[in-house]
C-alpha cells in the first residue's frame, strides 16, 4: 500500500471515529501484498542473490496493485493517475533486471510468474486509466568486458618442531596472498548492470603457503644451587732503583706471592646443564704480596786489557840410565857418563786485566843446551868373568851427524861395553833409568858416546893389568 493511500485511510478512520461510527474498513489489497512478500515452499530459491531480486520485485508488484485499487476507487485523483503511469515504466525496467539476474531453475520459474502478474496488473492499470495496454518499451541492453583483480588467499600448514617449547608457535614461512585477473562480460539494461558472466580467469601471482612450526618440546626443569670456589689473586709488581747494582741488572728483592679469595656462586641448571652463574658473595682469604724488583743503575766498568811478551830460560833435567854388566861383581856400580842439565828458551805472552795478570800462553820453546843423560853399569855376577878381548872392542857407532846443542834431536842408546868399567864420581841429582836390555841410544849425543867408549877401553886395560900382576 502506498503512503498516499495510508494517509487517506488514516484520515477516513479519524473522521469516522469523530462521528461515532464504528471503524470497520476492509483493505482488500493489504493481505495480498503481505502474502506475496514470501514465496511459497514450492518456490524456494537456493541462491540468496536471486531470492533477493524475486522478493524485491514481488513487493513492488504488490505496491503497484494497491495503487491501481486506489485509483479505481477514486478516478478523480490526479496524483494517483500520474503515479500509475510512472510505475508502469519503472516496473518494466525492474522486470528486465530480475530476468537477467536469475539463473537457477527455481529463480527462473519465479521470474516467469512475476512477469505474468506484471502484465496482468499493467492491463488493469491501463483499463482504469482509460488506455489500451501498450506494448512495453523495449529496454536498452548493452554488454561490456570488465577486468578485475582479486586476491587469492594463501593456505596454512603446521609442522611439529621438537626444539621449540611446547605450546610455542613460530612462523617458519610467512604466507603471501596470490593474485588473479578475471575478465567479466557484463550486461547492462538501460544503464543498469543486470548480468555478469566470467569470461576468463588468470593467476598472475601464486600464493605462498604459510608454514607454522608448533613446538612439542617439554618445558625444561630449572634448579638452582650454591657453589663455593676459590680463585687466585695476582700480585702486583714494583721496581726500585739500586745504584750498587750494575746497570741492566734486575734482582728480586721481595718475591711476589699470589693471594686467594673465596667466591660463592648461585648456579642455575636447566635440565641438569649449567645455564647461568651469578656471584653471591666474595671474600679475600689471603692477601697477595707485592713483588719488589731492584733495577741496577750503576754504570758498567770497562776493564783495561794489555798483553806482553816475556822470554825466560828453563833448566832441562837429565835422565839416569842403569845397565847390567856381567863383568862387574854383584853390588858393584860404575858411572860411565856424568849427567848434565840442559837449558831451553821459552817465549810467553802474558795478559793483564787492569794491571793484574789474568792469562799466560806459551808462544815458542827453543832448546839451547840439550841435557846429557847419566849412564851407570851395575854388577850382577857372583864371580868376575873373563873380559872381552880388548884387541877387538865393541865398534861404536860412528856419529856422522853429531847433535847440535841448540837443536837437540832424538837420543840414541850407547853401544854395549865389554869388560870392567872404571868407577867415576856419581852425581845424585838426576833420575835413574834402569835398562837391562840395551844401552841408551846416543847417536845424537857425541860427547856422551866418546866418554863411554874411553871408559870402556880403560876398564878393559885395567882388568888385564891386574890379571898379569896376579
Model pLDDT, residue 444? 40
Average pLDDT over residues 149-174: 93
Average pLDDT over residues 221-231: 92
Residue 146: which pLDDT band, with cuts at 50, 70 and 90? very high
Mean pLDDT of the chain: 78
Query: Looking at the predicted structure, is the pLDDT value of residue 16 above 70?
Result: no
Retrieve residue 411's grid coordinates.
837420543
**Residue 410 · residue 444 · CB < 8 Å:** yes
Model pLDDT, residue 89? 84
Retrieve residue 279's grid coordinates.
656471584
Model pLDDT, residue 412? 42
112-123 burial string, b = 16+ CB within 10 Å, else e? Answer: eebeebbeebbe
Q: If you average pLDDT over each of 1-10, 184-193, 290-299, which comes out highest?
A: 290-299
Q: What angle do CA 251, 254, 260 make, to 5 degrees?
A: 135
Percentage of the chain modeled with pLDDT above 90: 44
Model pLDDT, residue 132? 62
Location of each CATH 2.20.230.10 domain in the chain? 143-217, 222-298, 305-469
Model pLDDT, residue 188? 86
172 or 463, which is more confident: 172
In sequence order, the 6+-apart residues with CB closer than 8 A to the CB of 138 are none
Residue 301: which pLDDT band, with cuts at 50, 70 and 90? confident
Q: How far apart are CA 91 and CA 58, in angstroms?
A: 11
Average pLDDT over residues 315-328: 93
Query: Looking at the predicted structure, is the pLDDT value of residue 19 above 60?
Result: no
Q: Name residue, grid cell 836390555.
A: 437
Average pLDDT over residues 54-73: 91
CB atoms near residue 135 (< 10 Å): 5
Domain 222-298, what fold?
A: Resuscitation-promoting factor rpfb fold (2.20.230)
Percentage of the chain modeled with pLDDT above 70: 71
Tell me: the pLDDT tens digits for 432-469? Answer: 444 444 344 444 444 445 445 555 555 554 455 444 44
Query: Looking at the predicted structure, is the pLDDT value of residue 284 above 50?
Result: yes
143-217 belongs to CATH 2.20.230.10: yes
Residue 302: which pLDDT band, with cuts at 50, 70 and 90? confident
Tell me: the pLDDT tens digits for 380-426? Answer: 988 655 555 444 444 444 444 444 444 444 444 443 443 344 344 44
Tell me: the pLDDT tens digits for 69-82? Answer: 988 888 888 888 88
Query: Looking at the predicted structure, is the pLDDT value of residue 322 above 70?
Result: yes
Retrieve residue 437's grid coordinates.
836390555
Residue 11: which pLDDT band, with cuts at 50, 70 and 90? low
Q: If you average pLDDT over each of 122-126, 318-322, 401-405, which comes out highest?
A: 318-322
Tell me: the pLDDT tens digits for 332-361? Answer: 999 999 999 999 999 999 999 988 999 999
Q: How far apart are CA 331 and CA 384, in angstroms?
A: 12
Query: Looking at the predicted structure, is the pLDDT value of residue 114 above 80?
Result: yes
Domain 305-469, what fold?
A: Resuscitation-promoting factor rpfb fold (2.20.230)
Model pLDDT, residue 286? 93
Amino acid at each position: 500500500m502506498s503512503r498516499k493511500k495510508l494517509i487517506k485511510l488514516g484520515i477516513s478512520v479519524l473522521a469516522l471515529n469523530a462521528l461515532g461510527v464504528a471503524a470497520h474498513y476492509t483493505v482488500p489489497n493489504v493481505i495480498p501484498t503481505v502474502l506475496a512478500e514470501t514465496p511459497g515452499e514450492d518456490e524456494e530459491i537456493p541462491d540468496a542473490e536471486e531470492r533477493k531480486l524475486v522478493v524485491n520485485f514481488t513487493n513492488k508488484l504488490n505496491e503497484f496493485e494497491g495503487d491501481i485499487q486506489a485509483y479505481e476507487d477514486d478516478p478523480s485523483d490526479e496524483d494517483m493517475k500520474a503515479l500509475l503511469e510512472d510505475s508502469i515504466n519503472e516496473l518494466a525496467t525492474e522486470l528486465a533486471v530480475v530476468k537477467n539476474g536469475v539463473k537457477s531453475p527455481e529463480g527462473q520459474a519465479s521470474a516467469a510468474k512475476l512477469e505474468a502478474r506484471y502484465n496482468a496488473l499493467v492491463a488493469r492499470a491501463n483499463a482504469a486509466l482509460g488506455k489500451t495496454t501498450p506494448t512495453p518499451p523495449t529496454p536498452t541492453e548493452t554488454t561490456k568486458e570488465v577486468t578485475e583483480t582479486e586476491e587469492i588467499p594463501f593456505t596454512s600448514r603446521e609442522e611439529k618442531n621438537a626444539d621449540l617449547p611446547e605450546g610455542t608457535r613460530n612462523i617458519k614461512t610467512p604466507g603471501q596472498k596470490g593474485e588473479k585477473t578475471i575478465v567479466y562480460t557484463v550486461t547492462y539494461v538501460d544503464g543498469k548492470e543486470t548480468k555478469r558472466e566470467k569470461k576468463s580467469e588468470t593467476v598472475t601471482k601464486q600464493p605462498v603457503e604459510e608454514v607454522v612450526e608448533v613446538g612439542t618440546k617439554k618445558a625444561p626443569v630449572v634448579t638452582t644451587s650454591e657453589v663455593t670456589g676459590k680463585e687466585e689473586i695476582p700480585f702486583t709488581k714494583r721496581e726500585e732503583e739500586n745504584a750498587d747494582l750494575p746497570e741492566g741488572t734486575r734482582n728480586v728483592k721481595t718475591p711476589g706471592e699470589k693471594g686467594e679469595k673465596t667466591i660463592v656462586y648461585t648456579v642455575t641448571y636447566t635440565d641438569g646443564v649449567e645455564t647461568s652463574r651469578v656471584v653471591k658473595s666474595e671474600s679475600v682469604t689471603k692477601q697477595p704480596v707485592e713483588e719488589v724488583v731492584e733495577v741496577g743503575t750503576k754504570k758498567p766498568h770497562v776493564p783495561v786489557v794489555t798483553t806482553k811478551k816475556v822470554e825466560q830460560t828453563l833448566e832441562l833435567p837429565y835422565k839416569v840410565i842403569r845397565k847390567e854388566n856381567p863383568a862387574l861383581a854383584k853390588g858393584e856400580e860404575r858411572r860411565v857418563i856424568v849427567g848434565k842439565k840442559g837449558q831451553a828458551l821459552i817465549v810467553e805472552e802474558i795478559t793483564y786485566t787492569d794491571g793484574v795478570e789474568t792469562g799466560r800462553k806459551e808462544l815458542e820453546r827453543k832448546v839451547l843446551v840439550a841435557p846429557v843423560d847419566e849412564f851407570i853399569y851395575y854388577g850382577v855376577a857372583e864371580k868376575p868373568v873373563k873380559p872381552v878381548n880388548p884387541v877387538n872392542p865393541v865398534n861404536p857407532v860412528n856419529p856422522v851427524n853429531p847433535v847440535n846443542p841448540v837443536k837437540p834431536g832424538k837420543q840414541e842408546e850407547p853401544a854395549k861395553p865389554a869388560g870392567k868399567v872404571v868407577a867415576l864420581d856419581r852425581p845424585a841429582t838426576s833420575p835413574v833409568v834402569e835398562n837391562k836390555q840395551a844401552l841408551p841410544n846416543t847417536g845424537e849425543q857425541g860427547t856422551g858416546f866418546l866418554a863411554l867408549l874411553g871408559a870402556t877401553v880403560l876398564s878393559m886395560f885395567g882388568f888385564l893389568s891386574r890379571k898379569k900382576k896376579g
